[in-house]
Chain A
């Protein structure tokens, strides 16, 4: 890939001369789709990213959001006042590492984790939780299993080593990811008003200090590699564009960064990711309205004889660029040395142009604003998606239930999260395997050592559903947002904020761009309806290969808040009545059921009062009389009920028909309660409450569907749900 001719002409006009080789490559990478969002930025205005909880919105390395005080954490966002937020902040960011994970699943996924963790660090935050949403081709393919195993191992080895728990996420399989899997990684960090750092350069004359790994030739051209379709021979041809991670160095960098923040030595910071040093340093100074003078010879390197272009663009991992006051440079170098990290003073913040010299010659001399913001936007054609009509097959009930419950999409993901250290940091109050994780933010109690549950619990959920967004991109994306909110509400928390990772195919294809546009609008619409500001995100296009485009995939990572960290489990106690709350859409479009048995249907209608429903679900989840809660989503009620059953507790349930059993409309939760009247009263005028039956003490799921009864004991259900582990172990 090289610079398009129209871009080249624009640059020549601006510079008044031909760009140097280094400038040309710098523009190629920074003006790539991956860095400049040329095809997506015109669409991203749809997102509402403001709110009184938002401290820093989109555009920095990660967003920063204030955590509600515990006594306001159960109050809906729209009813809170500015004083309801504490000076404890979280950072939230999300990143895709899709193409690298196809070429080299282990390193591709591992460096995805490393990158988003450094985005967290550069805000002065300590990383406290990771969420991974992964998408692969059909599970039964051998190559899929190779990619899946490698990606999970890469995340596990890297995340575990650096001591950041991976607490939630999602795994989906769909035939259209076969030539291009997706690895979307979100990170939550913890900081506060005092420790906050931004990526906006502060003062001319301050030094630019590079700390971390030596620079080598690894990951050259990663940004432009991420901005074109995956070639047939990508696994061999594009391997040099994939970075290799070193979690040990990343952990040292985390410790060094903490010390630098403790001692207030950082004026601004940016991690080195896409487009390497050139990207990080030029964006840092441009954001502050400055230029820079950088001497590339001073960059510490781990390979000999590197040229200017390589030093500038290599995506060697585990490096941070800091703006440091001249008098603090020695102390920064001492701290780097203490943690065995390389450190070089590479230049300084200046007024004027962004200038790089190498071997005594000026190799880059450009207006940083033009470099950072000058990429022309693409105006692409979009074709609107069409909607399916109902054509449901006649099925054998038992076969259908077994197929849906044992599908890898709905199956237990324990094989995955058991490989992730999800408890390091001793904040994970609700662990993976439930609807959402809950992280204990004790700091808001006023005492960081409080262990009485007096702080704010942050619920964390991440995912999308390719079946939904394939069937109906717009409504499917709305459903993704509502589904994440429902996960959080089922554990008694209310949505606070979210970040998105928008994955699409080649946007130059009008139908692909039409689908992509629809997921952006759908996601934005539902997040606005839920009063949930979308404070940051990532766009990954050109997820396209010879096997075609991926399904449009809007991963949403959402955070909600509640007072304390306790939540009802997604497991029955055996002692209550079973209700399903929420508005069913009465359709099966995009369902796992249709994916298993064939046929078509419209996408289910979504409720028109989602915010009210989510708030009421959270209130019900927090009632003393609520014994268990679990949301209805992938696989519908059939899967929700199967997951609720344990060896000790079962369910005796009747529903009207197949549609009721497999309908996946989000915004619905199964509640086990000893006080059904109170649940009905809470939902009066909000959404329907249907009685499903009773929970029992026999560990058996007994389902009566339109008069036909089937039953499964816990061991049988466990065997159905064990398909992933039983394939690998």
Chain B
């Protein structure tokens, strides 16, 4: 088994993702997008970075690269797919998940630690948590504001597709705790099935115990069979 961490030109969290997964004893390798998915792929991670420089719109170019057709197909077959940061933008641009991630309310890049509330604990990514648990994970993005029409937002809520929301240390969904102005404080959502998820915060940056928090490790273990 191996988790394919897809490296586009401009991806920059691919090495970190492999390191974090390996630390969790999950086999993972960087896969250059032009090389296609390896035969034995058992999971797919779309890592953070600035694919194609984000020159058109964050994630837009990578979403249209040939490997994403393979990723969508794998997702339909039930292979776990996790998009993080730029990977979330790629995932949403390619239709794996609904809505869009756009320029932060501050119009600036923000690198800081945030709190997330677990909204759906019945997924591979949140099986270690209970609904309502609060975890601390870093963000690092300039375009992380989740946007969606009211109607489709209601559908996300009705179908329990919201995975994480930004909150304060006590789990309250306040405006102050929403770092980028996301609709409904949404930090991460699910695709049509629970094995597909995208989120702006970086679980791979809060996995290794020697550089800080480890709350992200329990998200990445979603790749374990």
Using a CB–CB cutoff of 8 Å, the interface residues on chain A facing chain B are 153, 156-157, 160-163, 246-248, 251-252, 255, 338-340, 417-429, 440, 442, 449-453, 565, 729
CB-nearest residue of chain A to B22: A449
User: Chain B residues near A422 (CB, 8 Å)?
Assistant: 111
Residue numbers in A under 8 Å from B108 (CB-CB): 153, 156, 418-419
CA distance A247 to B53 in the complex (A): 7
Partner among A161, A419, A451 whose Cβ is within 8 Å of the Cβ of B10: A161
A422 to B113, CA, bound (A): 11
Chain B: minimal CB distance from A258 (Å)? 10
Residues on the B chain within 8 Å of A247, using CB:
50, 53
Alpha-carbon distance between A91 and B109 when the two chains are bound, in angstroms: 28
Tally B residues with Cβ within 8 Å of A.
Answer: 36
Residues of B within 8 A of A163 (CB): 12-13, 49
CB atoms of A251 and B211 under 8 A apart: no
Tell yes or no: B140 within 8 A of A by CB. yes
**Contact flags B57-75 to A (C-beta < 8 A → 1, else 0):** 0000000000000000000
B112 within 8 A of A: yes
**Assuming the A-B contacts A248-B53, A451-B23, A452-B210, are A419 and B13 also in contact, with contact meaning beta carbons closer than 8 angstroms in the complex?**
no
**In the assembled complex, how far is the CB of residue B5 from the closest CB belonging to chain A, in whole angstroms?**
14
Answer yes or no: B134 CB below 8 A from chain A CBs. no
Please determine whether A423 and B205 come into contact, CB atoms closer than 8 angstroms. Answer: yes
| Inter-chain contact B112/A248, CB cutoff 8 Å | no
Is B133 interfacial (CB 8 A cutoff)? no
- Which B residue sits closest to A156, measured CB to CB? B109
* CA gap between A49 and B111 in the complex, in Å: 36
- B residues engaging A (CB < 8 A)? 9-10, 12-13, 15-16, 19-20, 22-23, 32, 34, 48-50, 52-55, 106, 108-112, 138, 140, 142, 202, 204-205, 208-212
Chain A nearest CB: distance from B144 CB in Å? 13
| Cα-based distance from A52 to B209 in the complex (angstroms) | 33
Complex interface: chain A residues within 8 A of B10 (CB): 161, 248, 251-252
Chain A positions within 8 Å of B204 at CB level = 426
Separation of A255 and B13 alpha carbons in the complex (Å): 13
Chain A residues with CB under 8 A of B32? 338
Say how far B63's CB is from chain A's closest CB, in angstroms: 16
Q: Which of A160, A252, A339 contacts B109 (CB 8 A)?
A: A160
Q: Which chain A residue lies CB-closest to B7?
A: A255
Q: Which of B9, B109, B208 contacts A426 (CB 8 A)?
A: B208
Q: Which of B50, B106, B205 contacts A248 (CB 8 A)?
A: B50
Whether A427 contacts B211 in the complex (CB less than 8 A), given A246-B53, A248-B52, A251-B9, comes out as yes
* Closest chain B residue to A161, Cβ basis: B50
Rounded to whole angstroms, the CA-CA distance of A425 and B32 in the bound complex is 18
A423–B53 contact, CB under 8 A?
A: no
* A340-B9, A421-B140 as given contacts; A428 in contact with B53, CB under 8 Å: no
Q: Are A161 and B12 in contact (CB under 8 A)?
A: yes
Measured between beta carbons, the chain A residues less than 8 angstroms from B202 are 423
Chain A residues, Cβ within 8 Å of B142: 160
Given A156-B109, A248-B10, A421-B109, A426-B53 contact (CB < 8 Å): no
Give, as a whole number of angstroms, the nearest-CB distance from A708 to chain B. Answer: 37
